[in-house]
Structure 1
Amino acid sequence: MVVSTYIGIYYNVVICIAFYYFFTSMTNLLPWTYCNNPWNTPDCSGVVGTHQANATFANITAVMSGVTEVVNRTKRTSPSEEYWRNYVLNISDGIGNFGEVRLPILGCLAVSWVVVFLCLIRGVKSSGKVVYFTATFPYVVLTILFIRGITLEGAISGIKYYLTPQWQKILDAKVWGDAASQIFYSLGCAWGGLITMASYNKFHNNCFRDSIIISVTNCATSVYAGFVIFSILGFMAHHLGVDVSQVADHGPGLAFVAYPEALTLLPISPLWSLLFFFMLILLGLGTQFCLLETLVTAIVDEIGTDWIIRNKTIITLGVAILGFLLGVPLTTQAGIYWLLLMDNYAASFSLVIISCIMCICIMYIYGHRNYFKDVEMMLGFPPPIFFRICWRFISPLIITFILIFTVIQYKPITYNDYVYPNWSLVIGFCMALSSVICIPIYALFKIATSEGATFLERLKHSVKPDASWGPALQEHRKGRYATGGPESVEVITPLYPQYTLFLNEHKRHKEYFAFSF
């Protein structure tokens, strides 16, 4: 819940900026096309209407005239970059200087939260239908952009750059950390979102098939999107007469600086800009739905009073309003600094640590044999040997390796040339630890409240499954979970009356396991 809260706060800010660019693309001329705007500086150098020959001629003329200024700058300031920094963000000089709230961004943030709330107003009944569109239409946009991209001159050079490995990066811890973060983000590992959404499945749903499809589709989509992005960047590099590495960017710089600039070079550029940012909005909303539903479901399940169960919409509205208010500081002139701080600390180390603890606890405390039997009871067949080996050995080792490698080669966060002050890094580490610290705190609480005269007795009792552990519905309690069976556990009847009420009144398939260590 802590991780999902952090991500939900700043992730919707990213979506709101995509909304802002989408709205500003509804024009005949994209506002970041030229350098003749009030927010541009003398260092601005546009790309529309320029050619490599003109640039070369200008360099020769400057040298012959004895001009000391270097015209052909190694790092030019593009109109899209100045539009992003000076107009959209109106960025301050540091993370501590909040300045004023950027009202256009604040308005788009309100739009983002309203859209998310309306799509979740009936829980998974409404979001499930919306996701059919938000999850599939981006593929249509990607395909349109891909077809357009590969037909551009210079696209092949961009694709070659994309496919050529840089083997020296293998020893860079940041690459491994970024790769892990990408997988955790795209698959939702250790967020709680997978558990939340799976809790709405039927008990015998084939989650093995689903996990294979989602994992393969996820990675294939990432590769496919790379072709789309780098075909456009290759075209831009060819137009400027520079290497692809000089126009490629990362993070917000790719989505809101490099790619928008490349779009200005295309015919009917506002159309392509609308499609691109509409795709970003849909992709972001799909993630935001999961984050908000995770928080709401956790609140409803943990508190579980009759009023909360019947008024889940009000809980959803309350979470949305709170998320909007907590996101307001990110719409100030220092907002981008805080957004990147949360992105780099609030959910990077935490996800890796939580997932590693999850593997160890389930495999070695709950017991891999018990877990395999649980999966077999749901699927109807035992999990394949590959998954057993991964869950027990490979996954914990790889996650631990990434975590250690990242800590050893840790580098403080920076944004362009701005170096974050130490006090902000302390805040970042506090955010990272605030979610992880919940695990030992709750473990100590369970040990202290467990039965037993001595500490060891309470510890032994606390690491055993709760008496009510098992399938939520009595009809699924078979085998070792059946009352009176050879491997039975004590069953508390009725099982969670509030869930029975919820199932009866809302006909919700809420069938899940609830760990209690």
Structure 2
Amino acid sequence: MHHHELAMSANTGPIPVPVILQTESRDKWGKKMDFLLSVIGFAVDLGNVWRFPYICYQNGGGAFLIPYTLMAIFGGVPLFYMELALGQFHRTGAISIWKHICPIFKGIGFAICIIALYVSFYYNTIIAWALFYFYSSFSSTLPWTNCDNEWNTENCTNYFGKDNVTWTNYSRSPAEEFYTRNVLELHESDGLENVGVIRWQLMLCLFLIFTIVYFSLWKGVKSSGKVVWVTATLPYLVLLILLVRGATLPGAWRGVVFYLKPKWEKLKDTTVWVDAAAQIFFSLGPGFGVLLALSSYNPFDNNCYRDAIVTSVVNCLTSFMSGFVIFTVLGYMAEQRHVNVEDVARNKGPSLLFITYPEAIANMMGSTFFAIIFFAMMITLGLDSTFGGLEAIITAVMDEYPDFLSHRREVFVLGLVTVCFLGSLSTLTKGGAYVVKLLEEFGVGSSIIAIVFLEATAVSWFYGKKTSRCVNRFSNDVKAMLGYTPGFFWRFCWVAISPTFLAYIIISALLNPAPLVMFDYTFPDWSITVGYIIGFSSFVWIPVYMVYKLVWTPGSLKQRLAVCLRPERTLSDIHADTLGLTPLP
């Protein structure tokens, strides 16, 4: 559907011209690939490389692929498709879109933006650590190869290439001491009570990261769409090189067997299914407002169904392939240490990327080269996910306040990046890694899943007016764009399965919260309370906005509810008119 046709049909019916002008002036992706690479770049991030392999081996190896695939088909991909379609049809960001769907839920948009802001406070710090490593890699001997540095302690034990080394409970590898005592300087902090001063080296790294982010985002999709050609493709090149390198190491097969050996009895355990659901959800990233924002710059008749399938499959295959990259190296390390693979794979979380893998690299031929490309990969994996997260905020806020912001994008992006930089300062202190862990656990966690649950419910049950026909309203939107209605499978997933899938993750997470522990530090009780406040601070906007909307709408309660639940007449109706579709009553 092209807009000049809309303009021509303007004589035949009462169509408000400003609406059309608004979408005419909306940016468009330069090429289709700019969009696809942006979506892939956002969805494929550090979590694909460290979280998936770890969760896979922890939950039954090859057997885990069954719940993972099922959760992807019934939960992750339908939500991913729904969000791409909504953004492309309504052509607007996460806040304004609600007046087209169900105005009373507009608080969801504000909540999404706040969560995206929390993510930007800690996520870029992890990229800053990678940049610090990247800089440190430019030396003939990597600084985490041996115990002869000023930050090492007497516990530092280097067992590579030596036969008679005794490894005790107190032993620490050079790579672990480099990470905790040189990059983070955790030993100079007493935990969250006293995080210490800001590490200027990390602050400099973060400043560089945000400078790159600013100049990638300042011109909108025209600039970011070009940068992702590097940031979304480089990781694949590096993963391929590392895969070939890993496969040729002695002991590599031990790691692969450990990674994929199916433990079928694990499938009876509910935590495995919860982990599969949570992993696919956080990996694909519906609900962060990013897919809405990115697809809103697509042509109206773009095939978003195919895009959803292609990008989801690429994302899942990347996770699977990363497992081989990680576990071939863990097998090699187990061989060198003369221990079992599970003893090497104890490090979970980002430390897999900052301790275990660098340690293996340090003891290979050509270690400097592999270290440089490995950390370059980590930086690019992180960067385009940051582009996505911040674009979600920028698009949402600029679409909500177009009069004030439409010509001031550069200034607004500068303001936003500055806020993110200032918000990140607490994560750059000597105890900053604890702050990162706290924000990651509570800033995103259950609140984002609860928000997506509401989003899916609103679109499937409240969009349109008569309850039984709600998902039909959304299906008609998709038909207007693609020329065919989504099949029964997709409609059933949207109405019933996906919301159930999300409710299941939330309830499980709230019933058995994981204890917060990091290195030998257990988080104090007060920090858990602070965490819950952070989590609640984003979600609370949803009920607050509902009350505000009901109070300020004129009329009796019944009239107010009717107005608050009914979408305003918008572009969607205009598209429907021009296509000869009858809008639903």
Q: Which TM bucket (shorter chain)?
A: 0.7 to 0.9
Q: 1:220 aligns with which of 301, 304, 317?
A: 317
* Cα distance in structure 1, aligned partners of 2:117 and 2:262: 36
Kindly provide the CA deviation profile for residues 316-350 of structure 1, in whole angstroms up to 9, marking residues without a partner as x: 11111111111111100111001011111111101
Superposition map of 1:22-421 within 5 A: 22-51=134-163, 54-55=164-165, 71-74=166-169, 76-91=171-186, 92-167=189-264, 170=267, 176=273, 178-248=275-345, 249-306=347-404, 308-366=405-463, 367-421=470-524
* Cα distance in structure 2, aligned partners of 1:170 and 1:341: 30
In terms of Rg, which structure is larger? 1
* Partner AA of 2:577 in structure 1: K
* Partner AA of 1:332 in structure 2: T
* Partner AA of 1:351 in structure 2: I
**Residue segments in structure 2 that go unaligned for 5+ positions in a row:** 1-112, 464-469
1:432 partnered with 2:535: yes
Shift, 1:10, TM fit: 0.9
Which has the higher mean CA deviation after the structures are superposed, 165-174 or 369-378? 165-174
Q: 1:462 aligns with which of 556, 559, 564?
A: 564
Shift, 1:23, TM fit: 0.6
- 451 and 487 in structure 1: CA distance in 2 versus 1, 3 angstrom threshold: farther
- Contact 1:157–1:234 (CA under 8 A) maintained in structure 2: yes
- Contact 1:90–1:333 (CA under 8 A) maintained in structure 2: yes
Kindly provide the CA deviation profile for residues 106-127 of structure 1, in whole angstroms up to 9, marking residues without a partner as x: 1100000001111112111010
- Contact 1:479–1:487 (CA under 8 A) maintained in structure 2: no
- 113 and 178 in structure 1: CA distance in 2 versus 1, 3 angstrom threshold: farther
* Cα distance in structure 2, aligned partners of 1:15 and 1:72: 31
* Partner AA of 1:89 in structure 2: L
* Cα distance in structure 1, aligned partners of 2:228 and 2:541: 31
- Contact 1:96–1:334 (CA under 8 A) maintained in structure 2: no
2:42 corresponds to: none
Which has the higher mean CA deviation after the structures are superposed, 460-469 or 328-337? 460-469
Higher helix share: 2
2:69 corresponds to: none
Return the TM-score normalized by structure 2: 0.76
Q: Percent identity?
A: 38
* Cα distance in structure 2, aligned partners of 1:169 and 1:257: 28
- Contact 2:251–2:332 (CA under 8 A) maintained in structure 1: yes
1:444 corresponds to: 547
* Cα distance in structure 1, aligned partners of 2:479 and 2:169: 60
* Cα distance in structure 1, aligned partners of 2:582 and 2:358: 65
2:23 corresponds to: none
Shift, 1:176, TM fit: 4.9
* Cα distance in structure 2, aligned partners of 1:167 and 1:349: 28
- Contact 2:254–2:331 (CA under 8 A) maintained in structure 1: yes
- 440 and 166 in structure 1: CA distance in 2 versus 1, 3 angstrom threshold: farther
- Contact 2:120–2:386 (CA under 8 A) maintained in structure 1: yes
Superposition map of 1:480-499 within 5 A: 487=583
Shift, 1:169, TM fit: 5.2
1:20 partnered with 2:123: no
Shift, 1:74, TM fit: 4.8
- Contact 2:121–2:423 (CA under 8 A) maintained in structure 1: yes
- Contact 1:412–1:425 (CA under 8 A) maintained in structure 2: no
Query: RMSD between aligned alpha carbons?
Result: 1.9
- 436 and 211 in structure 1: CA distance in 2 versus 1, 3 angstrom threshold: same
Q: Report the secondary structure of 1:478's partner residue.
A: helix
* Cα distance in structure 1, aligned partners of 2:263 and 2:411: 51
Return the TM-score normalized by structure 1: 0.86
Shift, 1:464, TM fit: 1.2
- Contact 1:154–1:237 (CA under 8 A) maintained in structure 2: yes
* Cα distance in structure 1, aligned partners of 2:138 and 2:271: 38
* Cα distance in structure 1, aligned partners of 2:355 and 2:510: 30
Kindly provide the CA deviation profile for residues 172-215 of structure 1, in whole angstroms up to 9, marking residues without a partner as x: 66655554443333322110001011110111111100000011
* Cα distance in structure 2, aligned partners of 1:119 and 1:343: 25
* Cα distance in structure 1, aligned partners of 2:274 and 2:429: 29
* Cα distance in structure 1, aligned partners of 2:124 and 2:138: 22
Shift, 1:47, TM fit: 2.8
Shift, 1:452, TM fit: 2.2
* Cα distance in structure 2, aligned partners of 1:168 and 1:97: 44
- 309 and 446 in structure 1: CA distance in 2 versus 1, 3 angstrom threshold: same
* Cα distance in structure 2, aligned partners of 1:11 and 1:178: 21
* Partner AA of 2:567 in structure 1: P
* Cα distance in structure 1, aligned partners of 2:241 and 2:133: 19
* Partner AA of 2:177 in structure 1: E
**Residue segments in structure 1 that go unaligned for 5+ positions in a row:** 56-70, 490-517
- 171 and 349 in structure 1: CA distance in 2 versus 1, 3 angstrom threshold: farther
- 281 and 375 in structure 1: CA distance in 2 versus 1, 3 angstrom threshold: same
* Cα distance in structure 1, aligned partners of 2:333 and 2:523: 32
Q: 1:478 aligns with which of 577, 580, 583?
A: 577
Shift, 1:279, TM fit: 0.4
- Contact 1:173–1:409 (CA under 8 A) maintained in structure 2: no
* Cα distance in structure 2, aligned partners of 1:409 and 1:212: 33
- Contact 1:184–1:190 (CA under 8 A) maintained in structure 2: no
* Cα distance in structure 1, aligned partners of 2:269 and 2:522: 20
Q: Report the secondary structure of 2:172's partner residue.
A: coil
* Cα distance in structure 2, aligned partners of 1:168 and 1:102: 47
- Contact 1:447–1:458 (CA under 8 A) maintained in structure 2: yes
